């Protein structure tokens, strides 16, 4: 089946540790995105990538890093520099060929710092 897979669904991290969230897609979409969702706030863009080996910072990139070595994969690393990492993280993809195409979302990873 075509889709977006995020893993793990729940993740616990100790303070001071880096952690990597996985996002894999088999939709053959060029564009991939990472969003963060906190209670009472809208989705905020962390990083995005329009093509392999290229990515750009979003609105809240500090404390995060990404890579895009393959079209199918866009992992997000939450580093120890991120001061408040507990949140729900959503990966999304979009086919970039036509302007009005919608973004598709993965099921999300809930990260908790303990």
> Binding residues for other proteins, per CB under 8 A?
31, 33, 35, 40-45, 48, 50, 56, 58, 88, 90, 94, 96, 99-100, 102-108, 110
Task: Name the β-bridge partners of 113.
Answer: 13
Q: How far apart (Å, rounded) are the C-alpha atoms in residues 8 and 71?
A: 20
Q: Which is nearer to other proteins, 15 or 102 (CB)?
A: 102
CB 92 to other proteins: min, Å: 8
Q: Which is nearer to other proteins, 14 or 84 (CB)?
A: 84
Question: Can you read off the two tokens belonging to residue 103?
Answer: 């973004």
Q: How far apart (Å, rounded) are the C-alpha atoms in residues 6 and 31?
A: 16
Q: Which is nearer to other proteins, 85 or 106 (CB)?
A: 106
Question: Can you read off the two tokens belonging to residue 79?
Answer: 């580093």
CA nearest to 5, candidates 58, 72, 86: 72
CB 31 to other proteins: min, Å: 8
CB 77 to other proteins: min, Å: 21
């Amino acid at each position: 089946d075509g889709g977006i897979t995020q893993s793990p669904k729940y993740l616990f991290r100790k303070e001071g540790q880096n952690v990597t969230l996985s996002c894999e897609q088999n939709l053959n979409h060029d564009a991939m995105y990472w969003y963060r969702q906190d209670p009472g706030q809208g989705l905020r863009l962390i990083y995005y990538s329009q093509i392999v080996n290229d990515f750009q910072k979003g609105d809240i990139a500090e404390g995060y890093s990404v890579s895009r070595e393959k079209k199918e994969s866009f992992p997000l690393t939450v580093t120890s520099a991120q001061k408040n990492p507990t949140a729900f993280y959503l990966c999304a993809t979009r086919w970039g060929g036509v302007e009005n195409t919608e973004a598709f979302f993965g099921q999300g990873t809930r990260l908790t710092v303990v």
